Structure 1
Amino acid sequence: MSSIRFDGRVAIVTGAGGGLGRHYALDLAARGAKVVVNDLGGARDGTGQSDAALAVVEEIRAAGGEAIANGGDVADYEQMAAMVAEAKARWGGVHILINNAGVLRDKTFAKMTPEDFAFVVRVHLLGTALTTKACWDTFREQNYGRVLMTSSSSGLFGNFGQANYGAAKLGIAGLTRTLAIEGARHDIRVNTIAPTAGTRMTEDLFPEAAFAAFAPEKVAPGALYLVSEDAPTNVILGAGAGAFQAAYITLTPGMLLSGDDLSPEGVAAHWDAIVDRSGEIVPRSGAEQAMSIAALLPS
């Protein structure tokens, strides 16, 4: 098994002042990458600021690595563009982006304010899109880029009290799929990780024993593989406690309805056949859904 290294690569990790992002940054630096440690330094709900990023930079430097701190807001495009420009001026390029920054404002949808919904979507979805956009032209010019997005089981499968978070996280998975297609000809590989980890974000959700079992360092190997030179693209990887799983968005063969069956009553009558998962496929693009429908039409 050959060693995965990042010598000569420059990586940006957002939300890297603690938890998963800190481990990503430390592990990338230990394997040769020069790292921009980005963190606004706020509390779990996004309020306040701190020097969390600088503390991680000091850890990296103490271990013999190279890193700089950045306190920019991921949802502010100008700040993200400036961060990329600083990295390029210092090290000549940017090759890896891990979009990890996030906040939580959990409440049931009935009690959630529009402001709390918008804020969480802004940080997660818009922040991911804008930070990636700030790197995108550089990746295209280099004909090389590795992007890791952070989704969640709450987005992929739903979770009580996380309508804002889940909506943003599934949106990120959708963004990944399109960017993986658009980036392919420039060797820009874009993947999604859905981590389950004991961090500051989840410390009140895990029992103590489980919190230790789901340590963030047990997620980091999957993240680093997905930003390596030989990484796949357009993958959704679940990761937690040292276990790794692939998640898929699938499509059943379905059923063509016509005549009297082309009605709400017909859909109801044929529901079991429509949702039958025998022979389901994993489309590689949205166009494949239209193609699968066309295959059902009479020739």
Structure 2
Amino acid sequence: MILTITPNPSLDRTYELPWLDRGAVLRAVSDRVDPGGKGVNVSRAVAAAGQRTVAVVPLGGPEGALLARLLGEHGIEAAGVPVAGNTRVNITLLEPDGTLTKVNAAGPEITEGEAEALLEAVRTKSVGADWIACCGSLPRGLPPEWYAELVARIHRSGARIALDTSGAALTAVLPERPDVVKPNAEELAEAVGRPLVTVGDAVKAAEELRDRGARAVLASLGADGQLLVDGSGTYFGSAKVAVVRSNVGAGDASLAGFLAAGGTGPVALAAAVAHGAAAVQLPGSVMPSPADLDLSAVTTTTDIPSDRALTEPQP
């Protein structure tokens, strides 16, 4: 079982447009609403693979009630913590060429009592979990150290923890030695405070995060592939993708694939790459099912292309 905690979940509404013209009245070609937030997306991908998953989420207002219902429809056990504020709604505008315009709401402010209730829900629901995935930005009211407190508490029970967040929340949690952290290239550059121009730069940055406490680093480099740096070595994985339809949730799908495949070594990295490649070929934030995966298109190697320039260098 994989348990996820998403402190700032959302309803994700996606509109596919024939074009985007500012100031005009536009008619959508199609629209959909999905349960959202990074940890929720991980749970959706795990559930799509037929594995058990529990999603710990704060739920507020009618939006929170709809989120809980949608989680159930996706085969996810929702461990909802009531909060006073309304669950946020995010909007994505998708153009025919794959260009995305996103409007993300701030979400509710979490009180001290609600924050403690979230921590307690993770503790009680994590019994028997193979992995606990802590994912996403922290909402208003939670300090950057909140994930660090969660990791410290859960590690005492012996559970393995994966963390996908950024900024101060990421740097604060490293001394607690999370088992896996999963930054993208931009988040990795921010964490080490220097530009990443090549794959080799990304490897050095991942090694620095390990020096600062992370046991393993799974880094998404967008179209360039993914890196895994852990105690056994450094691995690079990539896959060819014919058409990118939407990159929303691709990193979350990658983390789900990685954890579901054991969360360690090149086999898990290959699963992460396959899940990410499948996700970008699906609309909106749809998570891939096993039928969408193509492991034959994935290559993994210990021969790191260190001098290869990143498609989108990170400042």
Greater RCO (CA < 8 Å, at least 6 residues apart): 2
TM-score normalised according to structure 1 size: 0.43
Which structure dedicates a bigger proportion of its chain to strand?
2
